[in-house]
Amino acid sequence: MLAHKTGIQSRPLSLYPSAARNHTRNRRLLCSASASKEDILIRSLSELGEVAVLVADATNLVTDAVRRHKTAPTASAALGRALVGTMLIGAFRKDEEVTQVSFKGTGPLGTVMAIANAKGKVKGRVDNVTADPPLREDGKLNVGEAVGAGVLAVVRSHPMEPKPYTGMVPIVTGEVAEDLANYLVSMVRLVAEDLANYLVDSEQTNSAIGLGVSLNRDCSVRSAGGFLVQILPFCSEETLIILEANLGGLPSVTNMLNSGLSAQDISDKILSGLGAAPDTSALIPTYGPCEEAALKERMIRAVASLGEAEVRDIMATEGKIEVCCEFCNEKYQFQEEEVLSYLR
């Protein structure tokens, strides 16, 4: 049964942002995304409110990430899966809540990290963008070997919470989706003060997750997306049986996207035989946030923290002060007087 496969701690449905339920706006987003092939992230409920399904077509988002970081094919697949998975786990939660997922593996990729907010914005990075081990025997990218063994850490934080919740589990396969699923299972078994506090205002539900990144022959991103299925309280055994059958016969996410199916089509497949509630929540996923003004402010503050003597020494040696954001890969140069003025 699905209940034995995966598990997650999730907020009760009533705590999801009410703004995301604006029916008119969401239908407009769905139509716009369908017409222009924009990325889309939707959240649907089964007719009886027993199952919630999040489905994302994040092809443009992952394409943007690959372009920014200039990743090799295997690194592209790993980063793309991490971005989509983190976005699915973090979306439609409390406003201002941030979810950070880190794969700290022993493979050539090093650490793979992604950070998402509740509004569908996500950014990420890998230590080694050139990591690209030989293909697996089945001809597929060997993401598992690129990630290697290690630890998967998930941190949820909110400015109104006294401290963030952190969960850690061993990396099982390195294939990202399987490890995130294992994390969702293991969360119910972790024993810690943070988890005890977290469970006070959380509901234990069962989940399933699927992620995929498909590349063209020229190594550009053909499609990228994923789904997250959450079993809500009081779900019947009959619903679980139908849902498990639907998931068991489901093609891969990328196969469905490549064949022309939309996020809504995939959601309908998952909820086949269960009906769907009339309201669908929708977001447009984007890479970031790395707004220029805020980014430059953080950068100049970091440079100024070196102190006046160090700043003058860098200018004398390099002739410029250049800082690069590790997430968006944007570079900015600062003049000596600009930094010293901030110091003063």
**Using one digit for the tens of pLDDT, what is the confidence trace for 191-212?**
333 322 322 333 344 778 889 9
- The answer to the question of residue 4 being in a domain is no
What CA–CA distances, in Å, run from 47 to 34, 44, 53, 276? 23, 9, 12, 4
Is 31 within the bounds of a domain? no
Q: Which of 269, 287, 305 is the last residue of a domain?
A: 287
CATH number of the domain encompassing residue 129:
3.55.30.10
Query: What predicted TM-score, i.e. pTM, was given to this entire model?
Result: 0.79
Residue 123 structural domain: 40-287
For residue 186, being part of any structural domain is answered with yes
pLDDT at 168: 82
Based on the fold, state whether residues 81 and 190 are members of the same structural domain: yes
Query: Could you report the per-residue pLDDT of 66-95, keeping only the tens digit for each?
Result: 999 999 999 999 999 999 999 998 998 877
- What is the CATH number for 331? 3.90.1280.10
Is 177 inside any structural domain? yes
Whether residues 333 and 205 fall in one domain: no
Contacts from 288-294 at CB under 8 Å and sequence distance 24+?
288/121, 288/122, 288/123, 288/328, 289/117, 289/121, 289/123, 290/123, 290/325, 290/327, 290/328, 290/330, 292/330
Given the structure tokens 């954001």, which residue do they identify?
325
Mean local confidence (pLDDT), 9-34: 40
pLDDT band (50, 70, 90) for residue 326: confident
User: Domain ends where: 244, 268, 287?
Assistant: 287
By the 8 A CB rule, do 85 and 101 touch? Answer: yes
Per-residue pLDDT, 82: 93
Q: Does one domain contain both 259 and 118?
A: yes
Per the structure block, which two tokens stand in for 128? 């080694």
**More reliable by pLDDT, 216 or 177:** 216
Specify the higher pLDDT residue, 105 or 166. 105
- Beta-carbon neighbour count of residue 36 at 10 Å? 7
Together in a domain, 92 and 166: yes
Asked if residue 229 belongs to a domain, the reply is: yes
Distance CA 302, CA 315 (A): 16
Residue 3 phi/psi, 5-degree rounding, is: -60, -25
Number of compact structural domains in the chain: 2
Q: pLDDT, tens digit, for every residue of 49-67?
A: 999 999 999 999 999 999 9
Same-domain pairing of 279 and 298: no
Within a 10 A sphere around the Cβ of 220, how many other Cβ atoms? 12
| Residue 34 forms part of a structural domain | no
User: Is 103 in the same domain as 190?
Assistant: yes
C-alpha dist (Å) from residue 176 to 4, 69, 79, 171, 282: 20, 19, 9, 9, 24
* CA nearest to 57, candidates 178, 213, 247, 230: 213
Q: Do the domain assignments include residue 144?
A: yes
